[in-house]
Chain A
Amino acid sequence: MPLVFAGVCSHAPGIVGRADQADPLAKQRLDAAFRDLRLQLEASQPDALIVVAAEHFANFFMNNMPSFAMGLADYYEGPIENPEWLGIEKTRIPGNRSLSERLISKVMERSDVSYAEEWKFDHGIMVPLHFLTPQYELPIVPANINCQGPPLAPLHRAWEFGQALREAADSVPERVALIGTGGISHWPATPDSGKINEVWDREFLNHWSKCDKESLLAYSDSQAYMDAGQGAFEIRTFIAVSGATEGCPATVHFYEPIPIFAVGCTTATVDLSVP
């Protein structure tokens, strides 16, 4: 069954954990954007959701760091963080081992990917699920791109990983949805947390919404680090979604810098009706 949904969203822990410290109107606008994204996801009637995330040393560490990894389990746990700090209770999230195995096998035909039968979700997946599948009823297939510990896979490999995910999703009978989650410019968890380069973000989102492969792959980590912080390494998750939806335009439904959330909060979807 062809991919039924594709989009991206932010995952910063402050979106839930520090919700009470934000401008209430800004928080309301972001909540409405997440609600609309959830409704679009639900309207696609997915059987499962692949979440392309940027894990943050919750499962993968520098002793054994995969560039790309996918979950292979019937359930996962999360959040790894202190629930009071994150504002999300610890819970069990359904997976689908059979589906994961078929997807991973297909991805392996064109992209090297690690797999994990155990996976503890951190805010990178839990915050999106908190808004998009709040009852935790939809089976999740987690996919991680190393955006934390250099050396990082080059951007064109993130694009190709997205293409491999798309081929895999299209090859199974289930209705598969895809969401990429990451920050654009941000300096998460550092003294510069709260700084957001809106100009950089809007230029990136302009390229992303046009699925402009040449422009997207022209970013360099060294320049992105200088202009947009180490959090900008997470553009790999957005680029993977572009790779999965090559040729399709996308719409940024919401973008607003919210400093206490430490990121320019974003929701967007891809128009899959365009070949």
Chain B
Amino acid sequence: MQKFLFELNRNADFQSRYLSDRRDAMNGFDLSDEERHALAEPDIGLLFHLGVNGQILMHFAAFHEIEWQDYLQQMRDGIAAHGPVREGVYAVTGYEGVDAHSSRLSKTSDAEKGS
């Protein structure tokens, strides 16, 4: 799935092929039905949940002219709908979500100020 996006992000001819027939462009890539669906829609939230690196996903969202704040919200919605990130760098230590991150960082900062 990430290989598909890597190729798409850097190849203008491949981008044209994807735009003309999204599912046909996926031929030759080892993708599950869920992944094909997410790539064809595109479902940014599901792609993030499935483990697509944000650097790749960010370029894909820009390609689809998704505004920055919408891109962030779609990822948040994906986590809310599907659960924590399944694979990849964000799952290495367990993606805990925006609120949990903010809470922990706040506690860390308070502890450092108090020390």
Contact = CB atoms under 8 A, between A and B. Distances in A.
Interface of A: 13-14, 18, 21, 56-59, 61-63, 80-82, 85-86, 120, 148-150, 187-195, 197, 199, 222, 225-227, 230
Contact of A195 (B55, B65, B101): B101
A interface majority secondary structure: loop
B31 interface: no
A81 B59 contact: yes
Contacts of B104: 226
Interface string B70-96: 001001100100000000011011000
B75 A191 contact: yes
B3 A199 contact: no
Given A197-B105, A199-B109, A230-B89, A189 B58 contact: yes
A149 B109 CA distance: 28
Contacts of B59: 80-82
B72 A191 contact: yes
B108 interface: yes
B16 interface: no
Interface residues of B, number: 34
A82 B62 contact: yes
B13 to A, nearest CB: 14
Nearest to B74: A191
A56 B55 contact: yes
Given A57-B56, A199-B108, A225-B92, 17 more contacts: A58-B10, A59-B10, A61-B6, A80-B10, A85-B62, A120-B10, A148-B89, A187-B101, A189-B53, A189-B57, A190-B54, A190-B90, A191-B48, A191-B72, A191-B98, A194-B72, A195-B102
A61 B3 contact: yes
Contact of A189 (B2, B54, B65): B54
Contacts of A199: 108-109, 112
B9 to A, nearest CB: 7
B68 interface: yes
Contacts of B56: 56-57
Contacts of B112: 199
A57 B89 contact: no
Contacts of A149: 53, 89
A189 to B, nearest CB: 3
A63 B29 CA distance: 14
Contacts of B109: 197, 199
B92 A193 contact: no
A97 B68 CA distance: 37
B14 interface: no
Contacts of A190: 48, 54, 75, 90
